[in-house]
Amino acid sequence: MEEILSKAKYWLSDVFDENTRKNTQHLIENDKKELEDSFYKDLAFGTGGMRGIMGIGTNRINKYTLGKNTQGLSNYLKEKFSDQEIKVAIAYDCRNNSKELAQIVANVFSANGIKVFIFSDLRPTPELSFAVKHLDCQCGIVLTASHNPPEYNGYKVYWEDGGQLVPPQDKEIVDIINALEYSEIKFEANEDLIEYIDQEVDQAFVEASLKNVDFGVSKKAKEDFKIVFTSLHGTSITLIPQVLEKAGFSNVFIVEDQAEPNGNFPTVKSPNPEEPDALKMALKLADEEQADMVIGTDPDSDRLGIAVRDDNGEMVLLNGNQTMILMTDFLLKEYKAKNGFNNDEFIASTVVSTPMMSKLADHYGVECKLGLTGFKWIAKMIKDYPQQSFVGGGEESFGYMVGDFVRDKDAVTSTLLACTIGAQAKDKNSSFYQELLNLYVEHGLFQEKLISLVKKGISGAEEINTMMTNLRENPPREFNNIKVVLFEDYQTGKAQDFKENSTKELDFPKSNVLIFYLEDGTKIAARPSGTEPKIKFYVSVNGELDSTENYKKTKEQLENKIDSVLSHFDF
């Protein structure tokens, strides 16, 4: 506690503004628990950039932690691009303080002689990824905490390819940031270097989105397809309705009570389309309007949740794995019909997502590349293999990317793709749901489940660490009497083959992920979240599906199997 108090007392110095000093003093005198959590560590970059609770302290999002990041990034940019004009693009979402924090970031860049393009109002995160390349920038920043609770905000860094930072570059930048003193931050803006961007980039992004999902679906099919859309108080309201309209989808019903951007997210417990509760209002409207599909996006519009009608006409929520496989199959089918394959195509996913992606790749004769959690790894694949053509890819956490014009998950273009698939299927007397079941009959029924355990604060971090250590040091040799045949530890970079009694190296960056493969094809993964105080467990099982009529029965059997596997853990 003495070290924490020492760090806090530095925030009482005249390096910090009066309000910060006053609030720090208040914590020292009145709230030791909050003081401890605010100063016990520095915010770190995780799978999706840096996220944290807003407030004062080194473990909080505020003008000083973001200012220090931006100062360090400015120093790094000037070192790496010393012989050219440096340009950065900045966007922000609907969260409380996002606009003000984005302006502070712009000010610091400009104070360091760096040209800044900043959106004058909130925009979807994928548009920022697009803008970095479109405006020929070396770097991009978006202020967002994705679907985290209202008290959070965050800072994602993109590089000149439009993808997020990856190792070892992220560590190089973090080392520069950590070596800085708060007193070295240049907050005084050079207004001449700040330019506001809006319609020109919007238009270019919309056109690129439409171009990447142009599959010749008839005008009538689009008009006949009924869509309910909710932005969950987020940024997607600025673009998705416009994209759908331009594509020809005129039958779109917007959940008006959730259409206004609001960082408090007043109508939902969590603005996360992964959570069924978040789409309640949209589902109600869908039943009123007899819509074919419901789509909800998270606050920064990079994830989407989808609900469609089943064979009984009831709305059912799909998970990220399900939407990913149907989108990927559709793209591969259309790609093959339109262009044919040149033996250089690939799709992409992550090690904790459904193994069915690899099945699809084998079926079409293309490669499926797997990366760690986070779309920065998929963007890196595109960058590392320029001789190959990226078709599409996603991850279980409701993110998908169509083509490579954006280098991050993109709910704008993915929404358009989902609606296109649904409209084409309906036009052929099928449905989004039916097409998914057809894939299961063809390739096997893969069933997945995610368990997320929230463990807040210092004690929570220790508890997560203990759980991962126990699994790592004493890996189970069986789950529910089914033997483990392979155990992968991405932290050590080793894979143990229990069948062959051998060990091999994993060709992946180091990451705190453990994966168990069972002899019946079951896969179990465990990892701490990189952006939230959570530990996550992923289970995937599979079996044959002989007909779509037996889907629900077979699905129930697989769900029971998942529950049996999970009973191994003491949650």
Catalytic positions, please? 146
Residue type, 464: I
In the block, residue with structure tokens 């806090």: 8
Nearest to 540 by CA among 525, 527, 530, 555: 525
Chain centroid to CA 283: 23
Say if residues 146 and 164 touch (Cβ distance below 8 Å).
no
Query: How far apart (Å, rounded) are the C-alpha atoms in residues 299 and 271?
Result: 7
What's the sign of the alpha-carbon dihedral 126, 532, 371, 520? negative
Q: Tokens for 268?
A: 């939902």
Query: What's the Rg (C-alpha) of the chain?
Result: 24
In sequence order, the β-bridge partners of residue 317 are 307
Q: Tokens for 300?
A: 């920064």
What's the sign of the alpha-carbon dihedral 149, 154, 159, 164? negative
Say if residues 2 and 15 touch (Cβ distance below 8 Å).
no
In the block, residue with structure tokens 């293309």: 366
3-state secondary structure of 553: helix
Torsion angle of C-alpha atoms 378, 148, 150, 7, degrees rounded to 10: -90
Query: How far apart (Å, rounded) are the C-alpha atoms in residues 131 and 118?
Result: 10
Query: How far apart (Å, rounded) are the C-alpha atoms in residues 46 and 114?
Result: 26
3-state secondary structure of 275: coil
Query: How far apart (Å, rounded) are the C-alpha atoms in residues 238 and 222?
Result: 21
Our CA angle for 174, 395, 328, nearest 5°, is 135
* CB-CB neighbours of 388 under 10 Å: 17
Sheet order of strands, 293-297 included: 252-254, 227-230, 293-297, 304-309, 315-318
Which residues have a Cβ under 8 Å from the Cβ of 318 and sit 6 or more positions away? 305, 306, 307, 308, 436
Residue type, 195: E
In the block, residue with structure tokens 């920038």: 137
In the block, residue with structure tokens 């002689």: 113
Nearest to 536 by CA among 448, 412, 410: 448
* CB-CB neighbours of 166 under 10 Å: 19
